[in-house]
């Protein structure tokens, strides 16, 4: 049983999926930092000194100095600034993945068609094997390959 488990774990596809999952998680963390620490402050500055991380609608009726303080107190609130950050991060990840997949598709060579395996009978126009010397449909002699 141990050998079967080891063989299962060491299969190429499982290892590739595990590596892709870890790389995806790391990429997600980098993009989240990129969005929260670089992109959103620039957008916030352009809009008028808005800190998207602090945008929220307080539903509890109490007053909190920031969204972080409201979260810490466990207040009922709608944190739409965090949602905007998540949407921007998603769009950036989707755009990067689009370019990666597009590039990968361009690198793949189109399927090369091999030599033909069938030919057309000159009399009945049915498709027959390329090496046939007599048509199975009309029984005419083909006289070699055409």
| 141 contacts: CB under 8 Å, gap ≥ 6 | 133, 134
pLDDT in tens, 10-29: 776 777 788 889 998 998 88
Task: Note the pLDDT of residue 146.
Answer: 45
Domain boundaries, the chain: 2-107, 117-146
pTM of this structure:
0.56
Name the phi and psi angles at 31, rounded to 5. Answer: -65, -40
Question: Domain spanning 2-107 has what CATH number?
Answer: 1.10.1200.120
> If pLDDT is split at 50, 70 and 90, which confidence band does 104 have?
confident
pLDDT in tens, 57-88: 999 888 888 888 998 998 899 999 889 888 98
Percent of the chain whose pLDDT exceeds 90: 7
């Amino acid at each position: 049983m141990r050998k079967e488990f080891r063989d299962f774990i060491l299969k190429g596809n499982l290892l590739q999926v595990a590596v892709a999952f870890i790389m995806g998680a790391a990429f997600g963390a980098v993009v989240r930092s990129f969005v929260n620490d670089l992109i959103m402050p620039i957008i916030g500055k352009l809009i008028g000194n808005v800190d998207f991380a602090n945008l929220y609608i307080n539903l509890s009726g109490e007053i909190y100095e920031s969204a972080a303080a409201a979260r810490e107190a466990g207040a009922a609130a709608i944190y739409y600034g965090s949602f905007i950050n998540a949407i921007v991060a998603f769009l950036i990840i989707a755009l990067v993945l689009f370019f990666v997949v597009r590039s990968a598709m361009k690198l793949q060579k189109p399927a090369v068609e091999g030599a033909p395996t069938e030919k057309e009978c000159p009399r009945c126009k049915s498709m027959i094997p390329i090496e046939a010397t007599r048509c199975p449909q009309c029984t005419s002699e083909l006289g070699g390959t055409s």
